Amino acid sequence: MKKIISSMIAVLVLVGCSQSINLEEHFSLNGTVEALKATNQDGDTVTMADYEDDIWLATFIFTNCDTVCSPMTAHIATLQEQMRDEKVEAKLVSFSIDPEVDTPEVLKEFGRKFGAEYDNWDFLTGYTQEEIEIFSNKSYLAPAAKLEGSTQFVHSTSIYLMKGNQVLEQYDAVSDVPYEKIIEDIKLLQ
């Protein structure tokens, strides 16, 4: 009887170990998020350390964008609904790359237009233009810059999968959003 119990425990341990994934083998990115202090749509102070125990998805937007930001935000709202339907937990974080215009109030209204639910979605601002550009460039290896003589900005159009301060994967956030793949990848991390 003891042999049977010992064998069962050994099998359970092996099965449990096989369930863990090697992040570097499964995901295509291996970056680290820099420190950033921000303010969310409710006026609360947020730092990247606040997400250190979380799985989260990051995007870069600005509210006066006349091209991709509205579709990107609509796709994240759809993803938020699908995550709820699948009972998948992850935080959503949209960094404004136009902090001078995008106040917490402006961001809250922008999110409201797309049906954002703020219990797990932060729209962030409250840093300087230089800070968000450096943050995007260093943390995500992505552009973030104001176009000279314009109110528009160059920025990433990806959704980034994060675990704590690790950047693991990026997905198209504009035209061909892989909702099922994103949810599957989040489930792997949970």
CA distances in angstroms from 181 to 173, 178, 190, listed in the order given: 13, 5, 14
The answer to the question of whether 75 is labelled as a binding residue is: no
- Strand bridging mode 45-47 / 55-61: unpaired
Asked whether 159 and 173 are in contact (CB, 8 A), the reply is yes
Q: Which residues pair with 93 in a beta bridge?
A: 58, 122
DSSP state of 101: T
The answer to the question of whether 26 is labelled as a binding residue is: no
The answer to the question of whether 155 is labelled as a binding residue is: yes
> Residue 173, exposed/middle/buried by CB under 10 A (0-12, 13-18, 19+)?
buried
Token pair for 69: 């930001």
Binding-site residue ranges for Cu cation = 65, 69, 155
Binding-site residue ranges = 65, 69, 155
